């Protein structure tokens, strides 16, 4: 896979899966835009970890209504074109229906959907406008195993990722004639802040036991699938959802 002279924007790249993807794209020659929300120190560390030159930080809260347009505009101002958008940023909040009151329930749905679905939808909109003008591009969306098998303690999270899958497949059909290819990576439990902080020790033990690997995914393993979907030669995989879950949940 070669991304020399490709301009790649990754949301939520200060940490976790986004950071691993930023490093992987840079190792293959891409110029990488690292978006983050407020963790400037971590974002600077990601920037410092990237091989090559020309990478940049883009601080923007993409859950805000104007965030996605501002982010794509800033990226285009810096680089002149956008070849790959990775909608990776996401949040996970625990909100079990038997644990919280109604206000917290509705707040959880609103907050999670704003980041996990609406931001990806709005970024895809503005990215697609730019890619249609420049003759094509790739969009890779980071979903979750939870879209398929349920998230008992975070139903809005599971629902947001199922919606992200459906949106991605709709866009894959609509955008292929414009040479814009849309793919999805659906990780299972992954070694990041989100993966390690959201669960009780009992839940962590149970989840680990579900995979024959008996371990979490490494962020680099998820990044590998992201790069594949964004690469030359993967065009006909547009619309695909690649599971990276250590055979813990197998869909037919
Ligand atoms: P993470 O370690 O919690 O990192 C989240 C990243 O998203 C950070 O860079 C954060 O920026 C950024 N972010 C969050 N909200 C944002 C916003 N409104 N605007 C801009 N950036 C924002 O998460 P991760 O585990 O790497 O997860 C990455 C993706 O994989 C998510 O979509 C997640 O749902 C999905 N996923 C993760 C797992 C898992 O077990 N880890 C499993 C399945 C799917 P700051 O550093 O500035 O806060």
pLDDT of residue 193: 87
In the reported structure, the alpha carbon of residue 95 is separated from the centroid of ligand 1 by a whole-number distance in angstroms of 18
Please work out whether the CB of residue 148 comes within 6 Å of at least one atom of ligand 1. Answer: no
In the reported structure, the alpha carbon of residue 155 is separated from the centroid of ligand 1 by a whole-number distance in angstroms of 17
Residues forming a β-bridge with 33: 9, 56
pLDDT at 12 > cutoff 90: yes
Provide the 8-state DSSP code for 186. E
The arithmetic mean of pLDDT across residues 97-115, rounded, is 98
* Banded pLDDT at 87 (limits 50, 70, 90): very high
pLDDT of residue 215: 94
- In this structure, the dihedral spanned by the alpha carbons of residues 62, 113, 218 and 95, taken in order and rounded to 10 degrees, is 130
The arithmetic mean of pLDDT across residues 69-83, rounded, is 98
The arithmetic mean of pLDDT across residues 156-160, rounded, is 98
- Atom number of ligand 1 nearest to Cα 189: 40
Q: What are the angstrom distances between the C-alpha of 122 and each of 69, 72, 87, 96, 227?
A: 7, 10, 10, 28, 22
Domains of the chain: 7-244 (3.40.50.720)
**Residue 7 annotated in active site:** no
């Amino acid at each position: 896979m070669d991304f020399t002279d490709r301009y790649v924007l990754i949301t939520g790249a200060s940490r976790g899966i986004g950071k691993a993807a930023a490093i992987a794209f840079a190792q293959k020659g891409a110029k990488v835009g690292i978006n983050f929300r407020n963790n400037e120190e971590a974002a600077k560390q990601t920037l410092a970890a990237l091989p090559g030159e020309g990478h940049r930080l883009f601080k923007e809260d993409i859950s805000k209504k104007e965030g996605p347009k501002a982010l794509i505009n800033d990226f285009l101002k810096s680089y002149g074109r956008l070849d790959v958008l990775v909608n990776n940023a996401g949040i996970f909040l625990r909100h079990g229906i038997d644990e919280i009151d109604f206000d917290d329930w509705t707040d959880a749905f609103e907050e999670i959907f704003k980041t996990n679905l609406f931001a990806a939808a709005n970024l895809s909109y503005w990215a697609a406008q730019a890619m249609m003008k420049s003759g094509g591009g790739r969009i890779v969306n980071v979903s979750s195993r939870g879209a398929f098998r349920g998230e008992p303690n975070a139903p809005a999270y599971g629902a947001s990722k199922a919606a992200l899958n459906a949106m991605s497949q709709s866009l894959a059909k609509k955008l292929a004639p414009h040479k814009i290819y849309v793919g999805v990576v659906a990780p299972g439990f992954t070694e990041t802040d989100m993966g390690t902080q959201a669960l009780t020790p009992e839940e962590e033990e149970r989840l680990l036991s579900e995979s024959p690997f008996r371990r979490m995914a490494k962020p680099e393993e998820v990044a590998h699938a992201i790069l594949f979907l964004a690469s030359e030669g993967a065009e006909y995989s547009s619309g695909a959802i690649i599971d990276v879950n250590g055979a813990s949940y197998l869909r037919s």
